[in-house]
Amino acid sequence: MSVMKRVSMIFKAKANRALDRMEDPRETLDYSYQRQLEMLTQVRRGVADVATSRKRVELQMNSLRQQQNKLQGQAKQALGAGREDLAREALSRKAALDSQLTDLENQYHSLQADEEKLTVASQRLQSKVEAFRMQKETIKATYTAAEAQSRIGEAVSGISEEMGDVGMAVQRAQDKTAQMQARAGAIDELMASGALDDISGTPRDDIQAELDSMRGGQNIELELQRLKGELGTGSKQAIEGGAGASDGAGASDGAAQSAAAEQPQAGDGA
Amino acid sequence: MIVRILGEGQLQVDDSASAELNALDAALEKAVNDGDEPAFRNALLALLDRVRALGTPLAADVLEPSDSILPRADADLDEVRGMLTGEGSIPG
């Protein structure tokens, strides 16, 4: 069993080094127990880090989906206004976000799996640490240093193997989380810069600007129609009432004419 | 005998399975030595599958060291090579 045996020998060598370090093997028990508690803290922190990372990816997925919905809405609006070219542009930007979303979804599932594995590992280590604590007390109470040696060796090797295993899992999860944080940071920056709003690279949302200007244009037309309508129904009132109003408008228009304009305004007030 | 699959925990496997597992392990070792990634992946997964199928998980509060330890399923070739030479970082 070469691979199997060799890996286990390396783990055993680590445990033996810990045992050799102490003169009284019973001291090893306390030392090892301290290390176990530290490892438990480390694993729990690892679980929390992975969960934080997963939540961040989730938020980003939500933002991207919102962005896609917005583009979908814009495409509909553009099509409604007879602008197929603009609708096509919006839909193609929506499609461009798909690959980013897929990437985030993969990260999310991978982090979720890591979180579950680490949680199980942390529970297993917790059980073993508790079993070790009980054995430690028994060994210290009932055995002399010489008698205790073999029992301590067994307990320490067993737990040290578990710690090595869990330690590697935490290390791996942390490395992966760090990588994902870096990628998440890059996406956050892209979102903040507005580049994701518009894949073509222009800083502002030009589709929305065009839709707005189209709508703005329509509104002006409507307003004009309404004003024309008003003029048509009550033209006399509008002309009589409009004389003073046009003077007032002239006053606010030009700062250079302000001195001249003040006179009719003062006259109006008196 | 007790076999640990890294990242999964320990299993109790009957000694009668030794010959079968040894053969799978030999194939794994050859793949590692040859640096043959696809063969390595197949051999590792085959070995892990057999250990999982033949073994019974040990209770979480058992403190016994394993007789054999196996890399996790998604370990890559370099990682396993590092473990075998003791260069891999095994904390604890």
Can you tell me the ipTM of this complex?
0.87
What's the pLDDT at A27? 82
Cα separation, A31 vs A20, whole angstroms: 12
pLDDT tens track for A17-38 = 777 777 777 788 888 899 999 9
Would you call B4 and A169 a contact, using CB atoms and an 8 Å cutoff? Answer: no
User: Binning pLDDT at 50, 70 and 90, where does residue A257 land?
Assistant: very low
What's the pLDDT at A197? 56
- Of A175-184, A230-239, B16-25, least confident by mean pLDDT is A230-239
Closest by Cβ to A1, choosing from B21, B32, B60? B21
User: Binning pLDDT at 50, 70 and 90, where does residue A234 land?
Assistant: low
Structure tokens at A198: 């518009």
Tell me if chain A has a CB within 8 Å of the CB of B43. Answer: no
Structure tokens at A205: 């949302």
| pLDDT over 80 (residue B25) | yes
| pLDDT over 90 (residue A106) | yes
Tell me if chain A has a CB within 8 Å of the CB of B12. Answer: no
* Max mean pLDDT range (A185-194, A209-218, B18-27): B18-27
User: Binning pLDDT at 50, 70 and 90, where does residue A62 land?
Assistant: very high
> What average pLDDT score do residues A90-98 get?
89
pLDDT higher for B4 or A4? B4
What's the pLDDT at B87? 54
Q: Which residue of A has its CA nearest to B44?
A: A3
Cα separation, A39 vs A44, whole angstroms: 9
pLDDT higher for A216 or B18? B18
Would you call A123 and B89 a contact, using CB atoms and an 8 Å cutoff? Answer: no
Structure tokens at A135: 């054995």
The helix-helix angle for A25-80 and A145-193 (nearest 10°) equals: 20
What's the pLDDT at A110? 92
Tell me if chain B has a CB within 8 Å of the CB of A144. Answer: no
> What average pLDDT score do residues B11-29 get?
93
Residue with tokens 């200007």: A213
> What average pLDDT score do residues B13-42 get?
93
pLDDT tens track for B65-89 = 999 999 999 899 988 888 877 655 4
Tell me if chain B has a CB within 8 Å of the CB of A222. Answer: no
Cα separation, B23 vs B25, whole angstroms: 5
CB atoms within 10 A of CB A16: 14
- Of A144-153, A192-201, A243-252, least confident by mean pLDDT is A243-252
| pLDDT over 70 (residue A236) | no
Tell me if chain A has a CB within 8 Å of the CB of B71. Answer: yes
User: Binning pLDDT at 50, 70 and 90, where does residue A212 land?
Assistant: confident
Tell me if chain A has a CB within 8 Å of the CB of B86. Answer: yes
Closest by Cβ to B70, choosing from A7, A168, A171? A7
Q: Would you list the DSSP string of A96-127?
A: HHHHHHHHHHHHHHHHHHHHHHHHHHHHHHHH
Cα separation, A87 vs A205, whole angstroms: 14
Cα separation, A132 vs A37, whole angstroms: 11
- What percent of chain A clears pLDDT 70, i.e. is strictly above it? 80
What's the pLDDT at A196? 60
Tell me if chain B has a CB within 8 Å of the CB of A92. Answer: no
Closest by Cβ to B70, choosing from A4, A158, A159? A4
| pLDDT over 80 (residue B7) | yes
Tell me if chain B has a CB within 8 Å of the CB of A29. Answer: no
Would you call A1 and B22 a contact, using CB atoms and an 8 Å cutoff? Answer: yes
| pLDDT over 50 (residue B12) | yes
Closest by Cβ to B69, choosing from A8, A158, A163? A8
What's the pLDDT at A195? 61
Q: Answer yes or no: pTM beyond 0.80.
A: no
Decide: helix, strand or coil at residue A254. Answer: coil
- Residues from chain A that touch B22, judged by Cβ atoms under 8 A, are 1
Would you call B89 and A135 a contact, using CB atoms and an 8 Å cutoff? Answer: no
> What average pLDDT score do residues B20-45 get?
93
- Of A2-16, A77-91, B13-27, B38-52, least confident by mean pLDDT is A2-16
